[in-house]
Amino acid sequence: MNPFRAWVGRAWSHSRLIFCAMQSMAAANLERFYPSIIPIGQELRKEASVMLACSTDCQRETLLALLMIGATSSWFNPKDSGASLFLSFQSRLKRAILLNKVDINGAEGLFYMGSLVYWRMLLSYVHDHPRIVRDEIGISVRVPSQPSTLSFNNTPHPWAGVGFEIQKILCEVGLLIRTKRRKSKVPDDEPNPNLFDSQNSLLEAFELESRLLQTGCPAEDQVTNPGDHQTPVDHLLVFAEVYRLLGLLQIYRIFPTVLTSRLAADRSTWISSTRRIFNMVHHHAMTWGLQMNVPQDQFSPNFMAIWLTLFAYSIIEKLKALPIEAGTGAFQPFLLVACSGELRRPSVFTAGLKALIHSDGSLILMETGILRARQILLGRLQMLRDFLPPKPWDLCVSIVQEVWSRMDAISFPSILDKESDSGMDNMPLWLDVMIDHGYETLMG
């Protein structure tokens, strides 16, 4: 039921383009066992790239090859996002749709659009090109939120799973927070960012938060079972929920005003799924003896830091339930890296936290839990390196270790001295580490 695998499987024996693309991917995956195969894979990739550059068509084999060569660029060079190939795929797909070569709501069209959204989502966190992070197809896909009958629309996508709409929102989140962090790095002697732009960004953050809270996933019985015993439907639904939680985490981290507004809101007006999301944080807080029910005027920076840490911990707990060898394994690195930046270790000597705890033992419990979550996260990344092309995952591990190193060098009060709607600017962030060190790799 995987159209990607089926189409490639039928084409490779008669299409030199597909053959070279597929073999180059295999070579990249085998290089840690057979280093001598690296030049062969590079030569096959080069041949496929030349064939793509010399053609202008928008046939199925060309579109598939662009996905195969472009989305695996980081397998060969971890700092190559495949951006130019993404743009080529996007423009050729649009032409294929306009020429009626691809039905946008048919099996092939939905596969391509899901692939495009997933690829763009990853790119939006590592690339600034406006043509990449903005949707240039301009054609809507009919994906009902609650399908009444089983169809391809609710058959899991090989890359996007069942979280198509959520990943579309995550594209916009990536563009917003990356732009915000880049503006925050403007030197003090340069003109301050335009206040109007800052207010627009905050309004956009509020809108994206609302959309993420309102966008749900289909019920389990509404999703076609793909027949993969290692990746049942409930795993795919958990994965889609993790994407949604991650989007919220990034918004709340960069725009603390959005989080304080949400926490101060009347909970009786929340839909059940929103209430469930925020109850996760209180569940873990109670487990560690932390008191998180504080009045609105006590939403201090220390409180916000702990809340974000508990939220990130909740996401890791959900990911922990998904086996690393399952079909979702190859798509976890981005989620793991983005969560890593909120796993702060509290200090038992941090006076600013005394009002939030019942006893000093609560901080010890919390630190133990965070250290375990870190161990799980890093262990997953290292395990993925053992059965996926290793180059991008090495950078992922470097990002995670560096952001933790920066966190552990400071304490809660000092990292929250400066707070604004540009985010908690002095607090270490995974996105900053990635940008500062040039670790911008495609994590998927």
Q: Is residue 318 domain-shared with residue 420, that is, in the same domain?
A: yes
What are all long-range contacts of 214-219, with beta carbons under 8 Å and residues at least 24 apart? 214/271, 215/145, 215/165, 215/166, 215/169, 215/244, 216/145, 216/273, 217/162, 217/163, 217/166, 217/241, 218/145, 218/146, 218/147, 218/154, 218/162, 219/146
Q: Is residue 226 domain-shared with residue 127, that is, in the same domain?
A: no
In a domain, 158, yes or no: no
**Torsion, Cα of 346, 350, 356, 358 (10° steps):** 90
Residue 99's CB: how many other CB atoms inside 10 A?
Answer: 9
Chain position carrying tokens 């600013």: 352
Q: Is residue 90 domain-shared with residue 133, that is, in the same domain?
A: yes
Q: Is residue 176 domain-shared with residue 80, that is, in the same domain?
A: no
**Torsion, Cα of 408, 413, 414, 417 (10° steps):** 140
Reduced to 3 states (helix: H, G, I; strand: E, B; else coil), residue 275 is helix
> Which amino acid, residue 307?
W
Tens-digit pLDDT string for the chain (444 aa)? 788 989 999 999 999 999 999 999 999 989 888 999 999 999 999 999 999 999 989 999 999 999 999 999 999 999 899 999 999 999 999 999 999 999 988 889 999 999 999 999 999 999 887 777 666 666 655 544 443 333 345 789 999 899 889 999 999 999 999 988 887 766 555 555 565 577 889 999 999 999 999 998 888 888 988 888 888 899 999 999 999 999 999 999 999 999 999 988 888 888 888 899 888 988 888 888 777 766 666 677 778 888 999 999 999 999 988 888 888 888 999 999 999 999 988 764 454 555 455 555 677 788 888 999 999 999 999 888 888 888 898 899 999 999 999 988 875 543 344 444 444 556 788 999 999 998 999 998
Given a contact cutoff of 8 angstroms between Cβ atoms, the answer to whether 45 and 20 are in contact is: yes
Q: Is residue 102 domain-shared with residue 233, that is, in the same domain?
A: no
- What is the maximal distance between C-alpha atoms in the chain? 69
Tell me which DSSP letter residue 323 carries. Answer: -
**Alpha carbons 104 and 368: distance in angstroms, whole number:** 50
Number of domain units in the chain: 2
**Alpha carbons 193 and 11: distance in angstroms, whole number:** 52
Which residues are CB-neighbours of 95 under 8 A, at least 6 positions away? 58
Closest-CA residue to 11 (of 81, 47, 64): 64
Kindly state the helix (H) or strand (E) to which residue 15 belongs, with its residue range. none
In a domain, 127, yes or no: yes
Output the six-digit token pair for 339: 């969560």
Domain of 334, in residue numbers: 171-185+194-444
Q: Is residue 124 domain-shared with residue 205, that is, in the same domain?
A: no
